[in-house]
Structure 1
Amino acid sequence: MEENLPKSRYNVAVIGGGTGLPVILKGLKKLDANISAVITVADDGGSSGAIRDYINVVPPGDIRNCMCALSDADPTLIELFQYRFNTDDDFLAGHAIGNLLIAALKEMKGSMSEAIDFLSRFMKIRGQILPAAPEALVLNALFEDGTIAIGESKIAHHRKKIQEVIVTTTSGDEAVKASPRVVDAILEADLIVLGPGSLYTSILPNLMVKEIGEALLKTDAEVVYICNIMTQLGETENFTDSDHVEVLHQHLGACFVDTVLVNTTEVPRDYILTQPNEEYLLQVKHDFKGLRNAGCRVISSEFLSMKQGGAYHDTDRVVEELGHILNTTKLHRKNASDVNVY
């Protein structure tokens, strides 16, 4: 989508999904950079899950949210795109208008890439939105006790320690192929940002697509991981920041994360004790020695923002740091011999 990619000083690829990715994308629009958002297609819950069950389409929810984050359209149009039908609307209950538009355009255009490109022009997207794969994928979790959970939305409910996650096609084959332009976006990037987002269900589903994982090990870009502020029940209970990175390195079989952004501000105790639905558990503990042993540079700062009743990353502070990395860090050229095998 060349018309949406004006000549800028840098290329930045952001990989993830869930609620964390759009928060960072909004801020990245301020940088002198072409932005590529690589988004997970393994979501099988909520409106996205219902749509992918009935229509041959990748789950549109994360795509919709990232479009809104990168959109320069009229705020009223963005609000309409995000509007979700009320629960008493029978068949349409819970569906966002944007999800339905994405699904409809995919049928009209014949491919998700063409549908997103068309809608991106309409929504005045600054950058490009790239589903990780051209088809909906299935996330499988192998637990340490040998049992397996199938489906992204089911993994956390088991409350077991995850040994690894595997991504397959809906027919059970290995997920190999990335969507058009994804590999190029990674290989041409000056900076690659992972997260913030759920480690096992938002970030790793992208990396476990074979072509994406291979591209991350080849890229010359600086790879930055934005570590989560809170642990998550059923995923990262009792995890330190170095545990998060260790899981990433184990899954790709190499130490590929160059820099880790870590929040040092303490989350208010009252907030932790009043968490609804036990979505979060505790604040992620620090292990700076473990991060350095994994070959990572550590940037720690007050990245916490308590807003909208939750503990989030402060968009401005995080993007300021990412901009500093782009502007002042001499990006190291890497090749296969430079990547430490895990």
Structure 2
Amino acid sequence: MSHLHISRTAEIPDELRVARARSTPGLGPRLLFFSGGSALNGISRRLKAYTHNSIHLMTPFDSGGSSQVLRRAFDMPAVGDLRSRLMALADESDLGQPDIFALFTHRFPVGASRAKLEREFAALLDTTHPLMDAVSQPMRSLILSHLRAFAAHCPEGFDFAGASVGNLILAGGYLTHDRALEPVLFIMSKMVAVQGTVRSIIDSNLGLGAVLADGQTVQGQREITGKEVPPIGSPIRELFLTRDGVRLERNAVKLPKRNRRLIERADLICYPPGSLFTSVIANLLPHGVGRSVAQRAVPKLYIPSLGADPECLGMDLPDQVTALLAALRADAGQDCPADRLLTAVLCDKRGLRDADVRRIANEHGLPCVGLNLCGGAAAARYDPVRICEALVSLV
């Protein structure tokens, strides 16, 4: 081990480092996460007490729920997970913007008639809606400019049921800023005083595809993850990016320089809990990600999800580590040492099997660190405080 000297019985967290982080979160460490979905939101919300400098590189490939309605209507990347992470990291102190937060997190009712949904949207536009009326100037005008851009491009019969107002504002900002996500994510971050950095791993409207062990090809994040549709029936062998349903070569999609710089400055890199393929490995597909990770000499941790992941059919913990390393080596090079891409697997000790520890050590030369990360009797969910304190301690 070259960057992370810890054993399975390591004493974590380090109380001094944790206390220092809590006393000055504005100077806290740059913890970088490759993630998607909502699995990390609870941890992210608690992380604000330890650092305001966390970095979240996220997938824009969601093809389910209200995000897919926007993708079809505007030919744009998925923004729902990005919006929810921004809200998780928003300043919730007295210095924050609770009125804007309430507006951004509001959803249109699912069971309402189309006429009622359209009336509510009209009320937002003419500022008679209580949530819009509560937002003070000049923020209200800026938000309205994005919402009106959305309205100007909105196709007739658009289904508002279940839509997040924040997603509609992001969509309008995307259209306003020449179909680019980065500017509107920056603006929304400022509106709610986000205590961290949230970026899409790429700024393109792409999809996901997977080759299964039985030779079948499945396209679409929704179909791969098996949460809104029946789960896949064969293990995933390869994940790839698509444009308009056509598979792309890996080198065709490059990591933006602004995101490469974030990786280069990270104090710790984490592959966090979440759907292994569509939330974590999907972030590793753009050309340059694996190479950038390999060049950074900092702790690099994998925290596996608890419970069953429908994407990991037939996979145990060593298989998941192998899949993660394979995705990184596809860019960093097949001869890249494992500890340049991953330095330890961080697990709740109650679910860590000795056989898995030995196999990961034998196959990859990597340690598994077993800690009490769940707390109490709830072994099916990580305790956000314990996760945050473990990560801060390892910087």
Which bin holds the TM-score, normalised by the shorter protein? 0.7 to 0.9
Aligned twin of 1:80:
103
- Which string of whole-angstrom CA distances, capped at 9 and with x for unpartnered residues, describes residues 170-208 of structure 1? 454335222452111111111011111110111011001
Match of 1:19 in 2: 38
Q: Distance in 2 between matches of 1:29 and 1:57?
A: 30
Matching residue within 290, 298, 301 for 1:224: 301
* Structure of higher RCO (CA pairs closer than 8 Å, 6+ residues apart): 2
Q: How far does residue 35 in structure 1 lie from its aligned partner after superposition?
A: 1.5
CA distance in 2, matches of 1:169, 1:212: 19
Q: Does 1:201 align with 2:278?
A: yes
How many Å separate the matches in 2 of 1:11 and 1:210?
23
Q: Give the CA deviation at 1:27.
A: 2.6
Q: Following TM superposition, where does structure 1 have runs of at least 4 consecutive aligned residues deviating by more than 4 angstroms?
A: 283-286
When Rg is computed on C-alpha atoms for both structures, the one with the higher figure is 2
Q: CA deviation at 1:99?
A: 1.0
TM-score by length of 1: 0.81
Distance in 1, Cα, partners of 2:305 & 2:62: 19
Q: More displaced, 130-139 or 218-227? A: 218-227
1:305 offset after TM fit, Å?
6.0
Q: Tell me if the contact between 2:29 and 2:392 (Cα under 8 Å) persists in the aligned partners.
A: no
The alpha-carbon distance between structure 1 residues 21 and 151, as it changes in their structure 2 partners (threshold 3 A), is: same
Deviations 1:77-136, CA, capped at 9 Å, x for gaps? 334322221112432102111111111111112221001111110011112111010112
CA-to-partner distance for each residue in 1:202-256, whole Å, 9 max, x for gaps? 10110011122321222222211111111222x1134322221111112222421
Answering whether residue 332 of structure 2 is matched by residue 247 of structure 1, we say no
Which has the larger share of strand?
1
Matched, 1:259 2:344: yes
Whole-Å separation in 1 of the counterparts to 2:376 and 2:212: 33
Alignment of 1:163 onto 2:237: yes
CA distance in 2 between counterparts of 1:78 and 1:311 reads: 30
Report the TM-score, using the length of structure 2 for normalisation: 0.71
Residue type of the alignment partner of 2:105: Q
User: For the Cα contact (< 8 Å) 1:187–1:221, is it kept in 2?
Assistant: no
Q: Distance in 2 between matches of 1:246 and 1:48?
A: 31
Alpha carbons 2:26, 2:51 under 8 Å: kept: no
**Percent identity of paired positions between Structure 1 and Structure 2:** 26
1:130-189 CA distances to partner (integer Å, 9 max, x unpaired)? 101011221111011111001111123332111111123345433522245211111111
| CA distance in 2 between partners of 1:178 and 1:303 (Å) | 32
Could you tell me which residue of structure 1 aligns to residue 186 of structure 2?
Answer: 117
* Structure-2 change in CA distance of 1:179 and 1:62 (3 Å): farther
Judged with a 3 Å threshold, the aligned counterparts in structure 2 of structure 1 residues 95 and 310 are, in CA distance, closer, same or farther, namely: farther
What do residues 29-73 of structure 1 show as CA deviations (whole Å, max 9, x unaligned)?
222462111001111111111111111322011101110111003
Q: Distance in 2 between matches of 1:85 and 1:322?
A: 37
The answer on 1:143 being equivalent to 2:212 is yes
Residue 224 of structure 1: SS of its match in structure 2? strand
Partner of 1:95: 163
1:312 corresponds to which letter in structure 2?
Answer: R
Aligned to 1:337: none
| CA displacement, residues 233-283 of structure 1 (integer Å, 9 cap, x when unaligned) | 2x11343222211111122224211121111346xxxxxxxxxxxxxxxx9
Give the secondary structure class of the aligned counterpart of 2:202: coil
2:151 is the alignment partner of 1:106: no
Q: Distance in 2 between matches of 1:23 and 1:310?
A: 16
Q: Which of residues 248, 265, 277 in structure 2 aligns to 1:173?
A: 248
Residue 61 (structure 1) aligns with: 80
Structure 2 equivalent of residue 128 of structure 1: 197
Distance 1:15 1:32 in 2: 17
Matched to 1:297, the amino acid is P
Q: Which residue identity lines up with residue 182 of structure 1 in the other structure?
A: N
CA distance in 1, matches of 2:275, 2:202: 19
1:212 to 1:306, Cα distance in 2 relative to 1, 3 A: farther
Counterpart of 1:317 (choices 368, 386, 389) is: 386
Q: 1:41 aligned to 38, 60, 63, which one?
A: 60
1:107 & 1:88 partners in 2: Cα distance? 29
- The 3-state SS of whatever aligns with 2:111 is coil
Q: How many residues align?
A: 303
Consecutive unaligned residues of structure 1, counting only runs of 5 or more, are 1-5, 267-282, 327-342
The counterpart of 2:365, out of the listed 285, 295, 319, is 295
Structure with greater proportional helix content? 2
Report how far residue 9 of structure 1 moved: 5.1
Report which stretch shifted further, 27-36 or 55-64: 27-36
Counterpart-to-counterpart distance in 1, 2:354 and 2:72: 38
Aligned amino acid, residue 297 of structure 2: D
